[in-house]
Amino acid sequence: MKELILYSYWRSSAAYRVRIALSLKKLAYKTIPVHLVKEGGQQHTLEFASINASELVPVLVDGEIAINQSLAIIDYLDEISPEVLLTPTDRHLRYQVKSLAQDIAIDIHPINNLRVMQYLTSTIGTDQMQNTDWIRHWITLGFTALEMKLKNTAGACCVGDDVTLVDACLIPQVYNALRFGVTMSPFPTITRLYSSLIKHPDFIAAAPENQLDAQS
């Protein structure tokens, strides 16, 4: 197998999900940092757009294959490295995991993305405080539903006691929530899961502050 390459940005929560999966699976990979802010955003360069025309990270390259979309990448990793599965084989658990992961990755995350914030500021004319309120609002709404669901599914992890795709999505989303000052007290289950999982060695290895491009 050729060396896996991950186009990543240290603060990208979608890239963080993939880093967690790679780390849990003990897969070696090379990081190519894509700075989302510097020089107007390196994701918009011709070089990167030729790898992902959507101009978003992450992208995983495995030999001839380049895959974008963090959930698709993690599915791919489950296929090539099935010893540790992030999506369980049991049908009931599998769809529970997929639904919860998509609650985060599809319903909560995209409306708070950098390009949405940039559009709000440049076209709608919002200021920094209004953008922060926007992010807090949508994360709080999403976490309110998620808290109720996780209360019923969580053990040591989001679904039972084994780490799944939901944990790989939740931890980066809470990282974002804390970064933007979301009040977490209404979410005791989410807070408990976050506090415990960020101490897991594979989650530590994947954490934004431990990436080679951190703070750059």
Ligand X SMILES: N[C@@H](CCC(=O)N[C@@H](CS)C(=O)NCC(=O)O)C(=O)O
Q: What is the contact surface with ligand X in residues (CB under 6 A)? A: 12-14, 36, 41, 43, 56-58, 69-71, 105, 113-115
State which residue, 43 or 164, has the beta carbon closest to ligand X: 43
Q: Are 204 and 210 within 8 A, CB to CB?
A: yes
**Of residues 68, 73, 75, 58, the one with CA closest to residue 12:** 58
Q: How far is the CB of 172 from ligand X (least distance, A)?
A: 8
State which residue, 14 or 207, has the beta carbon closest to ligand X: 14
Q: How far is the CB of 118 from ligand X (least distance, A)?
A: 7
Q: How far is CA 167 from the centre of its chain?
A: 10
Q: How far is the CB of 213 from ligand X (least distance, A)?
A: 13
Q: How far is the CB of 14 from ligand X (least distance, A)?
A: 4
Q: Are 17 and 101 within 8 A, CB to CB?
A: no
- Identity of residue 144: T
State which residue, 94 or 115, has the beta carbon closest to ligand X: 115
State which residue, 69 or 211, has the beta carbon closest to ligand X: 69
The string of DSSP letters for 15-47 reads HHHHHHHHHHTT--EEEEE--SSGGG-GGGSHH
Q: How far is CA 117 from CA 41, 108, 112, 113, 215, in A?
A: 14, 14, 7, 6, 20
State which residue, 48 or 194, has the beta carbon closest to ligand X: 48
Q: How far is the CB of 71 from ligand X (least distance, A)?
A: 6
Q: Are 123 and 65 within 8 A, CB to CB?
A: no
